[in-house]
């Protein structure tokens, strides 16, 4: 099949369109006009920043696949935003959040591991021909790559592709399922992140620690708030992008060194430059939070970080093709049942341990979305909580290969019945 050429192919033009879209969303959300006030009562701004570029991509106006904007945003803007979010973080406060965040992350991992086999059984009962593939085209081989992506990330997905040997055609279909289903779930999370109180009430959750952390950081900001000068803004961007440069520089040496000397550690993504960029940028930001750099929050450090993160949100949105579900609806049915199973496991565990919806959302996204999108969902609750998403996503890299491998073996067994 030939891919149609989008109307706009110049990335500078596409970037201009995305920035104009973001400007429109935030300008309209701040409007006092009754229509916009009513509209944004029901629709969160972050969801529109994500969904409108998805509509542009689905209509063929732009193409997320042929654009380099996502790579630029995830490699350059994401690390800088993580630095700017973490320089004002209350590390002791994050540690006080306790074991519930980790429990919900692990519940999400188990939900993905078991959800694939469960979805395969359910759809196999309705449509037995799903098992008809042979050799590299066996359905379970492709599904194992989704398990890798949804527990860890791209590196884990590639590992499953090499271990189980799905055909290129099957793998291409699985990529479509992975991207669309994961993005639909992220859209749902962004919607409810703006109004978590209802879900927290249903879960009978204890939100004390989260709100204490948020309020403490808000109080700190108020105490140092000032009108930023040009020097302040330059310092903010200098630190953000300076640390990003250092992160890239170090990752260019560390990742190949692990790949050459300790190839057995590839399963933990230690040979992935992106993994090291995220880890180094986050660590540097945390270290800077113990220095005078923390006072840059008063000049709007996290606000600048939010700008960079929203650009990333828009570039993630433009990866989503809303029409792709029509290409192979049976595979998408498996993906939807899979993600619903994952969600149900997390909701049940959250209800048992009285965990807030914040832990459900971030624990899930740390699995399904990884380091690029977990901080987006976390910051949708509050900008100060973005580092929690990063820390959990790094765990996903470590757990991804083991969980996906076991899930793949279960799906292989089911297919052989």
pLDDT exceeds cutoff 80 at 292: yes
CA distances from 6 to 49, 57, 62, 64, 161 (A): 20, 8, 5, 10, 30
Angstrom distance (rounded) from CA 142 to CA 161:
8
Q: What is the pLDDT of residue 391?
A: 72
Average pLDDT of the chain is 83
Angstrom distance (rounded) from CA 34 to CA 65:
38
Q: What is the pLDDT of residue 117?
A: 93
Write out the two tokens for 210.
């989260």
Angstrom distance (rounded) from CA 143 to CA 116:
7
Which H or E run contains 371?
none
pLDDT in tens, 337-373: 999 999 999 999 988 988 888 888 888 888 887 766 7
pLDDT in tens, 51-65: 899 889 888 899 888
Note whether 316 and 373 are within 8 A (CB): yes
pLDDT exceeds cutoff 80 at 265: no
pLDDT in tens, 204-250: 777 777 777 777 767 776 777 788 889 999 999 999 999 999 999 99
What mean pLDDT is predicted for residues 9-36? 92
The angle that helices 78-86 and 386-415 make with each other, rounded to 10 degrees, is 130
Residue 228: alpha-carbon gap to chain centroid:
31
The confidence band for 159, taking pLDDT boundaries of 50, 70 and 90, is low
Write out the two tokens for 234.
């330059």
**Model-level pTM?**
0.70
Q: What is the pLDDT of residue 132?
A: 80
Angstrom distance (rounded) from CA 145 to CA 190:
25
Angstrom distance (rounded) from CA 73 to CA 128:
42
Residue at token pair 């289903």:
181
Highest mean pLDDT among 162-166, 264-268, 320-324: 162-166
Q: What percent of the chain has pLDDT over 70?
A: 90
CA nearest to 68, candidates 27, 30, 18:
18
Between 368 and 2, the higher pLDDT residue: 368
Contacts with 369 (C-beta within 8 Å, 6 or more apart), sequence order: 182, 186, 376, 377, 393
Q: Is the dihedral of CA 197, 199, 203, 209 positive or negative?
A: negative
Which residues in 219-249 are b (16+ Cβ under 10 Å) and which e?
Answer: ebbeeeeeebeeebeebbeebbbebbebbbe
């Amino acid at each position: 099949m030939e891919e149609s050429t989008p109307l706009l192919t110049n990335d500078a033009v596409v970037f201009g369109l995305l920035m104009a879209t973001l400007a429109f969303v935030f300008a309209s959300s701040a409007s006092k006009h009754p229509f916009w006030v009513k509209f944004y009562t029901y629709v969160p701004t972050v969801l529109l920043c994500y969904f409108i570029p998805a509509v542009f991509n689905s209509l063929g106006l732009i193409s997320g696949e042929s654009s380099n904007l996502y790579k630029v945003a995830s490699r350059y803007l994401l690390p800088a935003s993580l630095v700017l979010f973490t320089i004002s973080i209350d590390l002791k406060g994050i540690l006080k959040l306790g074991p519930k965040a980790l429990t919900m992350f692990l519940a999400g991992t188990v939900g993905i591991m078991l959800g694939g086999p469960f979805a395969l059984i359910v759809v196999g009962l309705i449509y037995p021909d799903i098992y008809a593939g042979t050799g590299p085209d066996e359905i379970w081989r492709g599904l194992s790559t989704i398990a890798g992506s949804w527990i860890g990330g791209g590196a884990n997905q590639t590992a499953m592709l090499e271990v189980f040997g799905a055909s290129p055609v099957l793998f291409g279909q699985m990529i479509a399922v992975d991207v669309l289903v994961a993005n639909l779930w992220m859209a749902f999370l962004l919607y409810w992140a703006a109004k978590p109180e209802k879900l927290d009430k249903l879960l009978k959750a204890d939100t004390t620690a989260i709100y204490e952390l948020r309020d403490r950081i808000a109080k700190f900001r108020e105490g140092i708030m000032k009108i930023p000068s040009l020097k302040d803004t330059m310092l903010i961007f200098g630190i953000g992008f300076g640390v990003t440069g250092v992160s890239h520089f170090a990752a260019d040496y560390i990742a190949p060194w692990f790949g050459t000397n300790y190839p057995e550690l590839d399963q933990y993504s230690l040979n992935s430059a992106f993994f090291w960029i995220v880890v180094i940028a986050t660590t540097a930001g945390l270290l800077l939070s113990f220095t005078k750099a923390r006072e840059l929050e008063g000049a709007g450090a996290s606000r600048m970080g939010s700008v960079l993160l929203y650009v990333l949100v828009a570039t993630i949105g433009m990866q989503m093709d809303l029409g792709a579900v029509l290409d192979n609806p049976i595979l998408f049915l498996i993906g939807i049942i899979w993600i619903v199973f994952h969600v149900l496991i997390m909701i049940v565990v959250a209800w048992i341990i009285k965990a807030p919806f914040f832990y459900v959302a971030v624990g899930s996204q740390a699995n399904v979305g990884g380091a690029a999108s977990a901080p987006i969902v976390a910051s949708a609750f509050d900008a100060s909580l973005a580092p929690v998403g990063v820390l959990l996503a790094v765990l996903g890299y470590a757990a991804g290969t083991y969980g996906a491998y076991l899930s793949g073996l279960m799906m292989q067994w089911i297919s052989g019945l």
